Structure formats: C-alpha cells, structure tokens
C-alpha cells in the first residue's frame, strides 16, 4: 500500500472525524461542485531518515497537508480540530506510523461572490508522519 492510502486510512479510522463523511475524505483534490464539508490531503514529501547503518533501522518521514473545507471558517476549524485528533500513531494499511507530529494550521476564509467567484473556507493543517515499511 502507498503512504497516501495509509494516511487516508488514518483519517478515516474510527469515528474521529464525524463532521465529514468518509467518502468526502480524498487524496489530491475536490471537484468544485461536490458537497461540503470535505477533506482533501496531499503527501508533500517523503524522505528516508537513517537511524543506523542497517536498513532495518531506517524510518521514513512524510510531510502531510490536509485541507478542511467548509462553507464557513468556524466549521473548517472544527474539522481541523478533528483531523488533529485523528492524526495519531498506529498501523494503517500495513504501515506502522511510529509518530505523528502536528506542525501548524492556518485558515483561508470564505470568499463571498456570485457563481464561480464564491469560495469556501479552508483550514489547512500540516503534520509529519514517521513510519516504517
């Protein structure tokens, strides 16, 4: 399984993110006309960290960016809080996440407008996932 599949598995494990249906937690992007709220995520970088001279002692670090999308900023922030609670160590799709470190978040507020000019609010969360394969 890919790291992306494992991150999605982490975000949908249990019922931690109950403000967004699992079907609306997707890798990459969300089509503009799909229902809100929604969560999209990207794995922005993966690097191998050498913790010794043998392959068995290596772990990987993946940078993850999660977009919590809602009509209003307050709702996007509520989803972001649930994402932060869902991002925990464990085994997801055969990858053992040994540590998950939350880095930060920021909010892009909703933009009011007509038709294509209206944009939802997005709370962007970033964290690192440390895992072994």
79-110: per-residue pLDDT in tens?
999 999 999 999 999 899 999 999 999 999 88
Q: What kind of architecture, by CATH, is found in domain 3-132?
A: 2-Layer Sandwich (3.30)
Give the pLDDT of residue 133: 72
Percentage of the chain modeled with pLDDT above 70: 92
Give the pLDDT of residue 110: 85
Report the number of secondary-structure helices (H) and strands (E) in the chain.
Answer: 2, 6
User: Taking the alpha carbons of 76, 103, 26, 86 in that order, is the dihedral positive or negative?
Assistant: negative
Residues whose CB falls within 8 Å of the CB of residue 73, separated by 6 or more in sequence, listed in order? 107, 109, 110, 121, 123
pLDDT of 26 higher than 70: yes
Give the pLDDT of residue 29: 85
């Amino acid at each position: 399984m890919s790291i992306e599949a494992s991150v999605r598995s982490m975000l949908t494990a249990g019922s931690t993110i109950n403000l967004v249906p699992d079907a609306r937690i997707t890798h990459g992007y969300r089509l503009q006309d799909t229902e809100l709220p929604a969560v999209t995520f990207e794995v922005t970088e993966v690097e191998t960290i050498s913790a010794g001279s043998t392959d068995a002692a290596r772990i990987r670090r993946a940078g993850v960016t999660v977009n919590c999308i809602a009509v209003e900023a307050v709702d996007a922030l509520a989803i972001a809080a649930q994402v932060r609670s869902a991002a925990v160590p464990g085994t997801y799709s055969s990858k053992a996440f040994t540590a998950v470190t939350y880095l930060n978040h920021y909010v892009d507020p909703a933009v009011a407008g007509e038709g294509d000019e209206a944009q939802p609010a997005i709370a962007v969360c970033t964290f690192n996932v440390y895992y072994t394969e």
